[in-house]
Amino acid sequence: MEAEHERWRNLCEQAANEQDLERLLQLVREINRLLIKRLLQEKGRTNTRV
C-alpha cells in the first residue's frame, strides 16, 4: 500500500509540472486508475464487515 501511495504522489507531482498535453492526459488516466482501484478496495472492505 505504501508503494502505491508513493506512486500516486509521484504521478501527481509529474502532472502538476507537465507541459505536454498528451503526457498530462496519460498521467491523469493513471492517477484515476489508481484512485478507482483504491475506492473499489475500500468498498470491498466495507461490504465484508456487514
Confidence of residue 42 (pLDDT cuts 50, 70, 90): confident
- Domain carrying residue 45: 2-49
Distance of CA 26 to the CA centre of its chain: 12
Cell numbers that stand for 44 in this block: 470491498
Whether this prediction's pTM lies above 0.85 is answered by no
Give the per-residue pLDDT at 4: 81
The count of structural domains within the chain is: 1
Give the per-residue pLDDT at 45: 78
> Which residue stretches of 1-50 are H helix?
2-17, 21-49
| Mean pLDDT over each residue of the chain, to the nearest integer | 88
Which residue has better confidence, 16 or 38? 16
Instruction: Please say whether the beta carbons of 28 and 15 come within 8 A.
Output: yes
Q: What angle do CA 23, 24, 28 make, to 5 degrees?
A: 120
